[in-house]
Amino acid sequence: MGAVCNEMKEFRYNVEKHLKELQKEVEDMKDLIASLAGTVKEVKKDSFLIKTQQEAQVLDIDSLSQRVSSVKVQIEKIDNRVEEGERFQRRDNIILHNVPEDKDEGCKDKAVRILSQEIPSVAAQCITKAHRVGPKLRDKPRPLFVHFAETKYKIAVLSCRQALKSLGIGVSSDLTPSQRQELRELRCQGKQGFYKGGKLLIGTDPLSPPPETSAVDTTDNGETRFPGNSVSICPQRPPSRMDNV
């Protein structure tokens, strides 16, 4: 009987010991849960702050996008004004090609001498300035830039392109880089175009002679082209400075 009592006491002791250990583990779990709950609360708070900041940043980005769009429009307007100004400055200019180049030449006198052969009305007072364009070349003369006092003299020269080409002299208008690019794109589409009054017109320039009757021809960028040179190059449009804005 005494042995049974001892076993019961030992069993009770072990049970109470395990209960205490379980109670301690439960308390530890409660503390851990409370800690996790606090962490979750802080995370929710931080998440709310982050969401608020993100919403504010989205508003800032939208505002910046609108400002960038506005700046793009302003820059485009400025570019258009600059282009208009440059075209206006070039309205009375022409470029002569294949004009023999001498060491101590007088460009203005040479231009008058060549043009007056076909247009007697062109005299020294009709040309305000003339000079060579670009670096010197060994195998061919540089283009000769000519600025007239009035637009009517330029029109008269363009009207005599065919006669001048029969002398081996090419004539081209002094176009801006933007105008030359527009003409290149037209050629890539199999079309022809010319500028009149600063506007691009699709078709053949009535002031230009038929290509088959020309001794030489000139491209829109001032290069001289002889009959038989039918190679066409279609360059890509150069990137706008606004592309990376």
What does the alpha-carbon distance between residue 176 and residue 89 come to, in Å, rounded to a whole number? 10
Residue span of the structural domain in which 34 resides: 1-90
Judged against a pLDDT cut of 60, whether residue 41 lies above it is answered with yes
Is the per-residue pLDDT at 228 higher than 60? no
Residue type (1 letter), 96: L
CA distance 76 to 88: 18
Q: Is the pLDDT of residue 212 over 70?
A: no
Same domain, residue pair 116 and 216: yes
Residues 81, 197, single domain; the answer is no
* Same domain flag for 83 and 103: no
* Angstrom distance (rounded) from CA 154 to CA 147: 8
Given this model, what pLDDT does residue 205 score?
A: 59
Question: Could you read off the pLDDT of 112-143 as tens digits, one per residue?
Answer: 999 988 888 888 889 999 999 999 888 889 99
Residues 4 and 26 in one domain: yes
CATH number at residue 117: 3.30.70.330
pLDDT band per the 50, 70, 90 thresholds, residue 78: very high
